[in-house]
């Protein structure tokens, strides 16, 4: 049914993931994945009712069977449609706690969500991206990083191990799949994002929170780069952020 190429975005709540989906929906049919359908239903409706094409699939990135099943649904629904872009953006695995109070379960969630989640997603997305050569833009796989991707702060052992692992995976995939024509990028989001959950957080300066739509524009820009000029890593932060 779809004639446009596909973009799949994993990790879609009311924030960055939704903005990325809206941005990529201007050019592609988008499929959004989230554990809880309530996270994507309003977004899917919004995109479909405003001229775009969106499909939501309930999936748990930490569960390989769930991710495979989601990509099987995509294959059925969009048979023969190339995958132009895949974005890994789930927020899970965050626990802020003194190390000696951190349970094994809490610690592991950082890697389960950010490391193994990205593994599961990339395993299903990369074979499709490899086949998607010849579109307007090189097929693209983007991972969302955080401050904790490059700094292991006190009390952040769970999240930082997950985000460091995700960055290692992104580097490894960029070096393996770049020469095969797939553009792999890692975006470090360094600051608080302006989403419903953070609405009440106030700062000394105005505009002190990252705009998810502006983040989405950077993801789109990375996607449009030709293979001569692939960007790997970009760090984004508000103008008043300390770093």
Nearer to a second copy, 29 or 124 (CB): 124
Q: How far is the CB of 4 from a second copy (least distance, A)?
A: 23
126 binds a second copy (CB under 8 A): yes
Which residue has tokens 């023969």? 80
3-state secondary structure at position 91:
coil
Spatial contact of 174 and 123, defined as CB atoms under 8 Å apart: no
Q: Which segment (5-13, 35-43, 73-81, 168-176) binds a second copy by CB under 8 A?
A: 168-176
Among residues 36, 131, 133, 153, which is the contact residue for a second copy, using CB under 8 A?
Answer: 153
In the window 52-111, what residues touch a second copy (CB under 8 A)?
64, 98-100, 104, 107-108, 111
Nearer to a second copy, 14 or 181 (CB): 181
Contacts of 222 (CB under 8 A, 6+ apart): 140, 142, 183, 185, 187, 231, 234
116 binds a second copy (CB under 8 A): yes
Q: Which segment (32-40, 49-57, 72-80, 169-177) binds a second copy by CB under 8 A?
A: 169-177
194 binds a second copy (CB under 8 A): yes
Give strand pairing partners of 85: 7, 140
Closest CA to 184 of 150, 136, 234: 234
Nearer to a second copy, 35 or 137 (CB): 137
# chain residues binding a second copy, by CB under 8 A: 77
By DSSP bridging, strand 83-88 and strand 6-10 are: parallel
Burial label, 16 (beta-carbon count in 10 A; 0-12, 13-18, 19+): buried
């Amino acid at each position: 049914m779809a004639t446009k190429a596909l973009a799949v975005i994993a990790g879609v709540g009311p924030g960055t993931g939704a903005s990325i989906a809206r941005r990529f929906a201007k050019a592609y049919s988008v499929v959004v994945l989230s554990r809880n359908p309530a996270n994507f239903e309003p977004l899917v409706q919004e995109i479909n009712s405003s001229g775009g094409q969106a499909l939501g699939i309930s999936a748990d990135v930490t569960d390989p069977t769930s991710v495979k099943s989601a990509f099987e649904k995509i294959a059925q629904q969009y048979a023969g449609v190339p995958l132009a872009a895949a974005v890994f953006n789930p927020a899970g695995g965050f626990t802020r706690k003194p190390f000696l109070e951190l349970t094994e379960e809490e610690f592991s969630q950082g890697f389960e969500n950010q490391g193994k989640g990205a593994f599961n997603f990339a395993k299903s997305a990369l074979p499709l991206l490899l086949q998607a050569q010849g579109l307007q833009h090189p097929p693209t796989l983007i991972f969302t990083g955080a401050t904790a991707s490059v700094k292991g702060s006190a009390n952040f052992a769970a999240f930082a191990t997950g985000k460091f692992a995700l960055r290692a995976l992104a580097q490894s995939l960029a070096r393996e799949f770049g020469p095969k024509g797939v553009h792999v990028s890692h975006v470090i989001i360094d600051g608080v994002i302006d989403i419903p959950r953070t609405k009440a957080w106030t700062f000394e300066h105005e505009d002190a929170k990252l705009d998810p739509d502006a983040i989405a524009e950077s993801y789109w820009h990375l996607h449009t780069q030709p293979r001569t000029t692939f960007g790997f890593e970009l760090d984004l932060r508000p103008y008043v952020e300390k770093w």
